[in-house]
Homo-oligomer: A and B are copies of this chain.
Amino acid sequence: MAEAFGFTLTATDGLARTGLIETPRGGIRTPAFMPVGTAGTVKAMMPESVRETGADVLLGNTYHLMLRPTAERINRLGGLHAFMNWDRPILTDSGGFQVMSLASLRKLTEDGVTFKSHIDGSKHALTPERSMEVQRLLGSDIVMCFDECPALPADEETVARSMQLSMRWALRSKEAFGDRPGHALFGIQQGGVTRDLREESAAALRDIGFDGYAVGGLAVGEGQEAMFGVLDYAPDMLPKDKPRYLMGVGKPDDIVGAVKRGIDMMDCVLPSRSGRTGQAFTRRGVVNIKNARHSDDPRPLDAECRCPACRNYSRAYLHHVFRAGEMISGMLLTWHNLTYYQDIMQGMREAIAESRFEAWEREFHAGRADGDIPPL
């Protein structure tokens, strides 16, 4: 195991990159997809099963954990890794994004944000300094700068002001983070869909200097075309020798398009959330297991998949347990979706290493274009 945090690029193919992030808690093969363990659990999954899907790293949510059970409590109990029985790397977000999407009575100042908990209405504050403290108490391996992220569309002046505030907070985050060997701090580029603002943000972050760089402020309602538009130039503004993380993305084709444009890490609740609502991602597109067409179908969800849902059960069973409201429905479909996501990542890593990313991508899109197997 590495003692320090580090990143090595091992191959590139076009703009797509593959490599290895090293941490004292183990390596992260990139491009990497990080399942989201919001409140100390990847919903419906045992952590051993998450690992089995191929995940090297989880994302934890600072906002949720600081409210319940609190960062101080998790710290007393030995940190988030021990608490949730996941001994590999954990990345935590800064809490800023979820304050904006979940909390009520938010008040934003130069200092930070005050808000009321969506759980019990209690009052809290987050500042760059407090976010660094919470993430340290959690024991996070990869810490994110505290930033502000405006919803899109927004006028350019709003986006600019917000980005400049986030850059001042990035500096305060860096100072508050201090020197923590083995732990990484990532800066977050903002600037909406405006190239000049993205460059201004990237320059500010490069000046401060981080262990990795996130492309923030996307996947907030702008649509895939606008997102790819930004990803056509934004990653290149960030240091080549550091990991690039696209936050909160996405659907399978978003992920492939992001890797193609030079992104190394991503996270999203989509595979786990969809698993609990009966939606499966497969090599032939989305399958809604609640659809009556599956009720008598003895075939697996995805014949090429290695997950337990596909190896051991029929579509008819998955349909039945979804309709009956059984927990195993969410358990199996989440397991499947996370496995499929990890298989996409593994497929891309191998394709990049072997300089055949374009062919891999063609095959990926062709399978989806075929659509689901016809009903029996």
Contacts and interface: CB of A to CB of B under 8 A. Distances in A.
A298 interface: yes
Interface stretch (A176-184, A197-205, A249-257, A323-331): A323-331
A263 interface: no
Contact of A314 (B41, B83, B295, B331): B83
A139 to B, nearest CB: 14
Given A85-B312, A327-B331, 20 more contacts: A39-B324, A40-B320, A40-B321, A40-B326, A41-B327, A43-B327, A44-B327, A44-B331, A45-B328, A46-B308, A46-B328, A69-B320, A73-B295, A73-B316, A76-B298, A77-B314, A77-B316, A83-B314, A85-B317, A331-B331
A41 B320 CA distance: 10
A327 B330 contact: yes
Interface in A342-359: none
A84 interface: yes
B320 A68 contact: yes
A78 interface: yes
Most B-side CB within 10 Å, residue of A45, A328, A331: A328
A313 interface: yes
Most B-side CB within 10 Å, residue of A40, A298, A327: A327
B330 A85 contact: no
A115 to B, nearest CB: 19
Taking the full assembly, how many copies of this chain does it contain?
A: 2
A296 interface: yes
A342 B40 CA distance: 29
Nearest to A47: B312
7 contacts: A39-B320, A39-B321, A40-B317, A40-B320, A41-B328, A77-B296, A77-B298
A151 B78 CA distance: 51
A273 to B, nearest CB: 12
A319 B119 CA distance: 16
A76 B328 contact: no
Report, as a range, how many residues of chain A touch the other chain.
35 or more
Interface of A: 39-41, 43-46, 68-69, 73, 76-78, 83-85, 295-296, 298, 308, 312-314, 316-317, 319-321, 323-324, 326-328, 330-331
Contacts of A44: 327-328, 331
Most B-side CB within 10 Å, residue of A68, A326, A330: A326
Contacts of A326: 39-41, 43
Contact of A77 (B317, B321, B323): B317
A213 B317 CA distance: 32
Contacts of A314: 77, 83
A320 B83 CA distance: 10
A79 to B, nearest CB: 12
Contacts of A78: 298
A45 B77 CA distance: 27
A84 B317 contact: yes
A69 B327 contact: no
A327 B39 CA distance: 11
Contacts of A298: 76-78
Contacts of A73: 295-296, 316
A321 B41 contact: yes
Contacts of A76: 296, 298
Most B-side CB within 10 Å, residue of A43, A317, A319: A317
Q: Which 9 A-B pairs have the closest CB atoms?
A: A85-B312, A69-B320, A41-B328, A44-B327, A39-B324, A41-B326, A77-B316, A77-B298, A83-B317
